[in-house]
Amino acid sequence: MTITMPTAAVEGIQLTVTPFRPDAVIGTMGLPTLLQLVPSPKAEEDKRALKYASGTLRRHAEVRGLVQRMLKATQKGRNVTSYASYIATGISGGHGAAWSTPPITLWLDGHPASVGEELIAGTGIRTITVLPGSPVVAIDGETQVTAWHELYDNPERFGTTYEKLGQVRVPFELYFGLTVEDARQIFYDRNVEGVPVAKNLAMSMDQRDIGTQIAHRISETVKVEHDGKIIPFSKLVQGRKRQLTKTDPELVTLSALRVLVITALHGRSGLGLSSATVHEGDLPECVSAEQAERELVPMLSQVISALFPHFAARDAVSAPAVLAGLGIAAHQATSWANGGSRLSVEELLRLLEPVRFEREARYWDGVAASANAAGVLNFGGGAKDSGGRVADALLGPDTDFGRKIRGW
């Protein structure tokens, strides 16, 4: 006597998905499911461990190598721990609602073992089943996948728990039935075709960055008269673009205002931090975020109020290099300034009063900008290149550059 084997039921990893094209679906899955579906990329690059791994894992590593770059000894790999820490803090509520991870783009080398009927007629929602051991590779979002593995391997290291991780739902899109060449093309398109955000603009959007926080406080504190109305300076700050055009109604970018704050915080060393995230642990020694805000907001608000006619005239004061030098000079008026002569706010303002901020080559060529044969200035060198020279000129009225920018 023999038993007939079942033919309808297919066992495997079942996902509830919605198709958005014939060979691709979207959905969410629990974290343990993701980790079962996609092995740790870091583990697959350990040649010694891979030598003794299962044939399934070795096969997966081979497929991954066709469409992904290496983690080891790259910036991508170095980002894993910080990404895991960011995710853990978000899961634990440390970021509030202001955190996010993008959907992970997965590629199944082959087809699902089965595709179910619509669960709700007309919606497209259905289940698909992926056989255990089928090669599923993250062709975009692999750093995130690796970070999730790090978290699940040792949640205590990142200040979270298995209980919290067990509640996570990870958004994903899954492509299947594509050739290796198609998968590689998607990898290329996702990593190259998009226009990357300039780093200093991205910094200006980071609401946990102390420089951005203080820049916002200053722009909200300063009240100015513009076009016959008293308005907050924040109305004249462009927060979405790196550079202003002649037709923009704003007078300065948020990223440039942030440079002023960072150099006021750190002095000359702030030039190297103008494109780096600054959190509380990055503040000068013995300076808290509260102290930095308490001193810098009123001081820099006074400076901006005093110089507002130059902002309104679209003079050189709004250039990042000039604001960087201005911040370095303002640093000498902070209680934590080290090196150089200490200044009071009044002394700082007296140094600035005779400066000719007009965008003219006779004042700024060779200091914060370069002039062409027609005398047109180009401030493209930026804060790092020219901020130190501007600071020297502001703080040293009797130097060659100091006399130049004052028209003496």
Mean pLDDT of the chain: 89
The pLDDT value recorded for residue 339 is 79
Tokens standing for residue 269: 């060393």
Per-residue pLDDT tens over the stretch 314-323: 999 999 999 9
Of residues 8 and 111, more confidence is placed in 111
CB 329 within 8 A of CB 266: no
Task: Delimit the domains of the chain by residue range.
Answer: 13-194, 201-406
Q: How confident is the model at residue 199 (pLDDT cuts 50, 70, 90)?
A: low
pLDDT at 323: 96
Contact yes or no for 284/265 (Cβ under 8 A): yes
The reported pTM is 0.70
Burial of 51 (0-12, 13-18, 19+ CB in 10 A): exposed
Better-scored residue on pLDDT, 199 or 43:
43
Question: Quick one: pLDDT at residue 365?
Answer: 92
**Is the model's pLDDT at 10 over the cut of 80?**
no
What is the predicted pLDDT for the residue at 209? Answer: 86
Residue 203: pLDDT band (50, 70, 90) is: low
Cα separation, 250 vs 109, whole angstroms: 51
Query: Rounded distance, CA 232 to CA 135, Å?
Result: 56
